[in-house]
Amino acid sequence: MLSGKFPLEDQVILITGGSQGLGKQFAYKYFHETKRTKVIVVSRSDAKLKPVVEEIEAGEDIDDEGVCLHHDTLNEDVINKRRIFYLATDLSDFNAVDDMFNTLIKFKLCPTVILNCVGGSTPKLFKDLTSHEIELGINQNYKSVVTLTHSFLQKYDQLAQFSSDYKCHVVLFSSEVSFFPFIGYGQYAPLKVAMKALISILRQEILAPEFKDKVTLSCVYPGNFKSEGYELEELTKPAITKIIEGPSFPISCDECCNKIIYWLDKGYNDVTTDAVGWLLMAVDMGLNKNNNNSFLYWLQLLIGVLANLIIVPIYMIICKWQINSYFSAANKDKKED
C-alpha cells in the first residue's frame, strides 16, 4: 500500500519513451489504477503511439479514439473529458522538446510527474558498432535526458503559472551498468554514466530558490526486465558480455514498474529493482563522492568501502583474465579457420 510520497491519483503524468516497454507499462498502470490522473504518452512516432493509447483504453467506456495533442480540433472540453493523450516528439531535438512543453502549457496539462523512459542498448564490441548505432545510443540514452530536463527547468515558471503550489517529480531512468561499465556496453554504459553525473549536478542546481522544495529529481537503475528491448539486446550481446554479466533472470515489466513506484513512494530518490543493483550501487558509493538517497544507504556506504578495498581488486583481476581468455580463444579459432 502506498504511503503518499509518490501518489498515483490526481496527477498529470508525462511519460517519454511510452510506446513500449516500461514506459508503456507505466502508462497502463496510471490509466487503470486512477480515476482522475491524466496521462500524456510521448514517443517519436504517431504511428506507434496511437495504437498503444487505444490498447491501454481497450474495454473502457470511451466514445472516441486516442487523442493526439497536435490535433487541430482539440479543445478544452476534450481535454477535460479525456484522461490519456499522445504526442509525437523527437527527444534528441531541442526545438521539438520545447514545442512539446509549449503544447502542454497551451492546454494547461502541466506535468506533476515526468517519467523519462527513453533508452535502449545495442550490446556489441565497440569496433563492431555502426555509426548509426553509436549516434542512436547518444540520442536515446543521454541527449534525451539533456533536452528534457533543460527545457523543463527553463519553462518551469510558465508551467507553474496555473497553480500557486505547482510541484513536479522528475524521474530519470539509468541502468545498473552505470555502476559497473564493462565490455560489450560501449554504445550504452558511457551515456548512462554521463547521466548519473548530470543528475548529481542538477540536484545541486535545483536547490536554487525557484526550484527548492518544488522540483524533485529521482533516478532509477533497473536490472533486467522483459521487454522488446531486452529481447533485441540478447540477439547482439557478445559471449564475453554474457559471461561477465552472469545468468540473467529478467522480471516482468509489471513487476519492475511496481517495484519502482514502491521505492519512490517510500521517499527514496535512487532506486534499484534487484539485489544485484543495490550491491553495485553500494560499490559505486564506497570511497566515492556520491550521496545517494537509497534504501539502507549507510549500509551501502559501509559495504562499498569494504568491497572496494578487498573484493573489487580481486574481481577485476578475474574479469581481466576472462576477457583475455575470450580474445585468445577467438584468435585461435580465427587462425584455425
Catalytic residue among 19, 174, 175, 178: 174
pLDDT of residue 292: 83
Q: Which of 28, 188, 268, 297 is catalytic?
A: 188
| Residue 192 designated active-site | yes
Question: What's the order of all strands across the beta sheet hosting 12-16?
Answer: 67-68, 84-88, 38-43, 12-16, 113-116, 168-173, 215-221, 270-272
Note the pLDDT tens digit of each residue in 95-150: 999 999 999 999 999 999 999 999 999 999 999 999 999 999 999 999 999 999 99
What confidence tier does 2 reach under pLDDT thresholds 50, 70, 90? low
Question: Considering the domain boundaries, does residue 7 fall inside one?
Answer: no
pLDDT at 134 (0 to 100)? 97
**pLDDT tens for residues 148-201?**
999 999 999 999 999 989 999 999 999 999 999 999 999 999 999 999 999 999
pLDDT at 34: 93
- Which helix (H) or strand (E) segment holds residue 152: the answer is helix 144-154
For the residues of 93-132, what is the DSSP string, one character each? -HHHHHHHHHHHHHTT---SEEEE-------B-GGG--HH
Q: Tell me, yes or no, if 188 is annotated catalytic.
A: yes
Residue 64 has a pLDDT of 47
- The verdict on residue 314 lying in a domain is yes
Flag the least confident range among 42-51, 87-96, 225-234, 307-316. Answer: 225-234
Domain count, the chain: 1
Q: Which three cell numbers stand for residue 202?
A: 542538477
Q: What is the pLDDT of residue 65?
A: 57
Mean pLDDT of the chain: 89
pLDDT at 319 over 90: no
Element (H, E) at 296: none
Residue at 262 is within a domain: yes
**Active-site residue identified among 192, 196, 237, 259:** 192
* 3-class DSSP assignment, residue 175: coil
In a domain, 5, yes or no: no
- Across 220-231, b (16+ Cβ under 10 Å) vs e yields bbbbbbebebee
CATH code at 113? 3.40.50.720
Is 252 domain-assigned? yes
Whether the predicted pLDDT of 261 surpasses 50: yes
In 270-279, which positions are buried (b, 16+ CB within 10 angstroms) versus exposed (e)? bbbbbebbbb
Share of the chain above pLDDT 70, in %: 94
Contact present, 220 and 260 (Cβ < 8 Å) = yes
Beta carbons of 169 and 112 less than 8 angstroms apart: yes
In a domain, 1, yes or no: no
> Which of these ranges, 147-156, 297-306, 327-336, has the smallest mean pLDDT?
327-336
Query: Is 229 part of any domain?
Result: yes
pLDDT number for residue 232: 83
Any domain includes 248: yes
Q: What is the reported pLDDT for 71?
A: 64
Helix axis angle for 297-306 and 275-285, nearest 10°, is: 70
How large is the average pLDDT for residues 248-272? 93
User: CA-to-CA distance for 99 and 103, rounded, in angstroms?
Assistant: 6
For 308, the domain range is 12-336
Q: Is 218 a catalytic residue?
A: no
